Each structure stands twice: as C-alpha cells, then as structure tokens.
A and B are shown apart, each in its own frame.
Chain A
Amino acid sequence: MANENGVLVVGEIHEGAVSGTTAEMLGLARRLVEGGLGGKVSVALLGSGIADHAGEAGPLGADMVYVADDASLAPYQNDAWLPVVESIVKQANPALVLLAQSSIGRDLAPRLAFRLDTGVSMDTVEVKVEAGTPHLTRAAYGGNARAVLSPVKLPALATIKAKAQEPLEPQAGRAAEVVNVAVSGQNIRTKVLGQEKAKAEGVRLEDADVVVSGGRGLGSPDGFQVIEQLASILGGAAGASRAACDLGWYPPSKQVGLTGTTVSPDLYIAVAISGASQHMAGMSGSKNIVAINKDPDANMVKVARFAVVNDYKQVMPPLIEEVKKLKS
C-alpha cells in the first residue's frame, strides 16, 4: 500500500475503562499528527461488550474509532485479535501503529509486524518525526543504552511504554467518527482455560503517587513488613525488585522493572535495592527517588535525589514514626 498517513492506536479496555496507556498513546498520536506527521488519529477498540466505550476516545484525541465487539475477542488471544487488527490497519492505512507495552500489546505487536511485513520497536519511550518519518527511541541492554530506530517501510509499529507519554486533557465535546468492524472466521488455535487475577488491595502500583519498593538487600520476606507500613502511611503502593520476586519474597505482580510494572510516581523510595539496570528501566521515570541502602556505591544511591546510607532495619522504624508524626 502507499499513501500511508496518520496514526492508528490499538487501544485497550481495562476494568471497564479505556486504559491509561491508551489515553497516553492518543495524546502522543495527536501531538505527532499535528507536529508534522499529518493525517488522522484513529483508535481500534476490541473486546466483548465494549461498544459503549467508543465515546471515550474522541475527548482523548481520536478522530476515528474502529469498534470490534465480539465474544471471540475476550479474553484476549492473538489468534482472535490479529486478523481483526490487520483488517483495521488496512482500512485506516496509517503511517504509524501504536500499541501498549502491556500483556496484550507486547504479545500482539510482533505478530502484527510480521503479518504486515514491517518492523516494530518494542517498549518505546519517545517518538519524534524527522523528515516526515517516525523515529523511535527505546532502551536496550537492560536500560544501559538507548537506541533510536527508523522504519525501512511503512507502517511503522511501536509499543509504547506505560507512563512515558502525557495524555491530553479530555475535551468533553470532542466527537469522533465511529466505524463498526465485522468480526468472523478467525482460526483460533488457543483456548483460555482460566484466569487468576492478583487481589487488588489499596492503591494500584502503576497509578500510585508514592511507591515504596524493597529488594534483595532486605534479607528476607519479613523485610516487606516495613515496606508495606511506610507505603500505607504515605497512601502509596508497595513494590519489589525482580531479585526479591524471584526469591519468592513478594508476588510477581508487584515487580517493578523491565519485565514487570513500569511506575513513574512523584516519590519512589527504594529500600535495599542496588539498582540493577533492569529495575531502573521500570522506575527511572519517577520524579523523585529516595535510596535507603547500606552501600554508598550502589547504583540506586547515585541516581537518587536523597539517600540514606545505612541499614534499612535501623532506618525504617524511626522513619515510619517520623512520617506518622508529620502526617498527623
């Protein structure tokens, strides 16, 4: 195909609303089409019983909404989604397709790229248009390096890291044209036998303004008691490094890092976390980092705004008391 223009966002609906990353991608798409890429912002919404969400996309920046509402599309399976998204790409004919770096997007985007015979940049943090072509920036080598990639052919595909882009301020009256997409005839070779969702208690990790995380340096799973106490007093969420999760000290759904959740809170308190690059990849967008660590040379101490160099067991109990006093 030729004459590709504009941006297609493959949206996701989580817990009854257009996901935060979808809103962030729509904001990015709007800035790109108005900043040199040209064309329209389209969004694809797939799922079962999701047609009512089409109205949410206009206020977030979409001009066109492609809705595919069919029982075969929930829960997500790539065999079910792929031909539908492929047909929407062919209809919208975009220069750039954005997907979320989420459980769905990271699974779907590579297959879609090969189906369309094009390239994909995963976990992308920045998209810029240079001479009419999207340039995609992503982390590589466990966060030690950044790579800038450009597509050899269009459309270019990119999955977008959560919290890397700003959503638009929703404009209530802004309407988008809705196109219903017919769904039929997928060859679905997989079957979801069951899902087990982690219990959502308190503030969600990815949405929290304050995150307190613990690492291998805690020495045992008991160390997470003070992590949770401080998180609770601050109205935030508790997280963990991959090392701590791999040791079985904390649930994998609470892992912050390259292969876990991406967070960008106002305040990130890293307790007994050395700062391996793959952990930094999940929290380096935090606005203020505090490190509590015995080792003055720990990577986390170097990137922090404030650091206490001491044993967390000695520091955390008085810190919890001090914060309690200030909050009361």
Chain B
Amino acid sequence: MNIIVCVKQVPDPETPAVAFKVDATTNKVVPAQGVAPVISPFDAQAVEAALRIKDAQGEGKITVLSMGQASARDAIKHGLAMGADEGVLVSDPSLEDADAFVTAKVLAAAIQKIGDYQLIITGRQAADWDQGVVPSGIAEILDLPSLTVTKSVTATNGSVKVERVLQDGFETVEASLPAVVTVSNELGDPRYPQLRQIMMAARKQVTTYTPADLGLSAADLQPRLKLEKLFVPVNDSKVEIIEGDTPAEQAANLARKLREAKLI
C-alpha cells in the first residue's frame, strides 16, 4: 500500500514560554535563540502510523510530503530517518504567509502530482497554529472520506479501519480507500531514528516543487483569513504563596484561605 504522510516543521513546542516572542510589527513569531525547529509532534506520530501499516503488510511505499521553507527538508528527513521511503517538499517565497486554505490547496495538488496512493495520514493539528483544518481540506479538495483524531489505524485492501478519539470515549469507523486519516497523541510514541537510519536517510531522495510545478497560479493561492494581529497575552495574576513550617501547616493554611474566599 502506498501512503503519503503530510508533515509540517514548527518552532519547538517545548520552547519555554518565557522564550516565546512575537514581533508586533510583522505579526510573526521571533525564532527562539538556539532552539531548532522540529517536525510537528503529531506529524511524527502520523509517520509512525504509516510505518506500523507498512510493517504489518510487509510492503508498500511511504512518501513524506511537506510545504514550507527550505529548512522544512529537515522535517522530511526526520520522517525518512524513521523509515519512510521518499520525500517531497513544496517551497516558494510566495507561500510564506499561506493560511490553512492555501496550504491544503498546495498539498492536495502535490498529492495529485505524486499520484499513486491509497492512504493519506497527517497529525491531528500542527503544533504551531493548532487548527486541524488542512487535513479535512485536503480530503474535501480530493473528494475523499476523512477520519480525524484517531488512535489506531489499520488498512487492508480497499478499506481503512480506525479508532477515533471522542470527547467521551472512542468509536471504531471504517472507510473506503483512498482516504485521509489524522492521528492524535493517543497513538503512542513515534519510533526514534537510530544513527544508522539517519545516515541512510541522507541518501534518500527529496523532490522539490514550486506551486507553478503543480499547476497552481497566484489566483489559486489567495488566503481566506487575514491575520489582523498576533500577540502574547499578559498574565497579570499575583500568586499568594501559602506559608507554613510543615506541609501539614501549609495544608491547614490553604484550607483556611479557600474557606475565607468561599471556594469550599
């Protein structure tokens, strides 16, 4: 089975909040000093889901696809080092301010260019914008069924079966192939590339396209949302540290404070 996994490179979500800064004039995040961008964690789990299917079937090809700056090649390489077979990067200065609408158009066009696929897997949302719009957009553009926020994915000839994570439990759903599936953190940890795999990945091919190569014109790439403002909310709360010489005394003082504030 041929699987395409869409990945995004994002600022490391583990960056401490104090190092997170926004340039108010450009409405853009200022990259934190010395913190390298990473593959979005849900997308690493999407690669893992694809590898589990390939391992179970003993055959197939996994293509890792990304749209982004030249550095996004590192996110693709991460997927290749995990065990994926080929990479495709769509990159162009005109895509720098792409919204989810434009991103889905570009990725859908790239998927059509890659051609032979049965399954498209992505993370449930990218760890920068946390929207979860692009995968459903790809499904809508390509007229495919979509199964979002899943914790397990198995595929056989002609159909895919997933467990979707719901607010109050899980559901098992089946869809005809080809289909789009997104995975959530409940899938479990992605495998970590070993040194030998990282060296092998360096020799795997990454094809680069521009939107023009995919037959997309400037008119196709008009965003649907305008970013008016990006800012860091201020935290003006003042914490009261509960005193006490022993934990028991601290506990008693906290209980008393909560009582005085009519919270218990």
CB distance from B116 to the nearest CB of A (A): 20
27 A–B contact pairs at CB < 8 A?
A78-B136, A113-B224, A119-B223, A119-B224, A120-B133, A122-B130, A149-B227, A150-B228, A153-B224, A193-B172, A195-B166, A198-B169, A253-B168, A258-B130, A261-B167, A266-B263, A291-B239, A296-B241, A306-B242, A306-B258, A308-B242, A310-B247, A318-B248, A318-B251, A318-B252, A322-B256, A326-B259
Residue of A79, A146, A190, A311 near B230 (CB, 8 A) is: A146
**Least CB separation from B29: chain A residue:** A141
Task: Kindly state whether residue A87 has any CB partner on chain B within 8 Å.
Answer: no
Query: With A110-B132, A277-B17 known to touch, is A148 a contact of B229 (CB < 8 Å)?
Result: yes
In the bound complex, how far is the Cα of B261 from the Cα of A289, in angstroms? Answer: 12
- Nearest-neighbor residue (CB-CB) of A313 within chain B: B247
Residues of the B chain whose Cβ atoms lie less than 8 Å from the Cβ of A4: none
Which of A102, A148, A306 touches B228 (beta carbons < 8 Å)? A148
Interface residues of B in 209-264 (CB under 8 A from A): 222-233, 235, 237, 239-242, 244, 247-248, 250-252, 254-259, 261, 263-264
Consensus secondary structure, chain A interface: mixed
How far, in whole Å, are A266 and B262 apart by their CA atoms in the complex? 10
Surface stretch bound by B, among A39-47, A166-174, A216-224, A297-305: A297-305
Q: Which residues of A contact B (CB under 8 A)?
A: 75, 77-79, 102-103, 106-107, 109-111, 113-115, 117-123, 135, 139-142, 144-153, 189-198, 200, 210, 234, 242, 245-246, 252-253, 258-259, 261, 266-267, 277-278, 281, 288-291, 296, 299, 301-311, 314-319, 321-323, 325-327
Contact yes or no, A111 B251, CB < 8 A? no
Of the four ranges (under 10, 10 to 19, 20 to 34, 35 or more), the interface on chain B belongs to 35 or more
Q: Is residue B208 contacting chain A, with contact meaning CB distance below 8 A?
A: no
Q: Return the contact of A78 from the options B146, B161, B259 (Cβ within 8 A).
A: B146
- Sorted nearest first, the 3 A-B pairs with minimum C-beta distance are A119-B224, A314-B247, A110-B136
Output the least CB separation between A223 and chain B (Å).
15
**CB neighbours of A245 from chain B (8 A):** 186
In the complex, the answer to whether B237 meets A305 with C-beta atoms within 8 Å is yes
Q: Which residues of A contact B13 (CB under 8 A)?
A: 141-142, 278
Whether the Cβ atoms of B145 and A189 lie closer than 8 Å is: yes
Check B137–A110 contact: CB distance below 8 A. Answer: yes
- Cβ contact within 8 Å between B129 and A259: no
Q: Which of B104, B175, B228 contacts A189 (CB 8 A)?
A: B175
Measured between beta carbons, the chain B residues less than 8 angstroms from A141 are 11, 13, 20, 29, 128-130
Query: How far is it, in angstroms, between the C-alpha of A321 and the C-alpha of B100 when the chains are bound?
Result: 52
B241 to chain A, nearest CB (A): 5
Contact surface of B with A, Cβ cutoff 8 Å: 11, 13, 17, 20, 22, 29, 99-101, 104, 124-125, 127-137, 139-141, 145-149, 161, 164-176, 179, 184-186, 222-233, 235, 237, 239-242, 244, 247-248, 250-252, 254-259, 261, 263-264
Q: Which residues from chain B contact A120 at a C-beta distance below 8 Å? A: 100, 131, 133, 225
Chain A residues positioned under 8 Å from B29 (CB to CB): 141, 145
If the complex has contacts A114-B137, A306-B258, are A146 and B168 also in contact, measured as CB distance less than 8 A?
no
Q: How far is A33 from B66 in the complex, measured between Cα atoms in Å?
A: 41
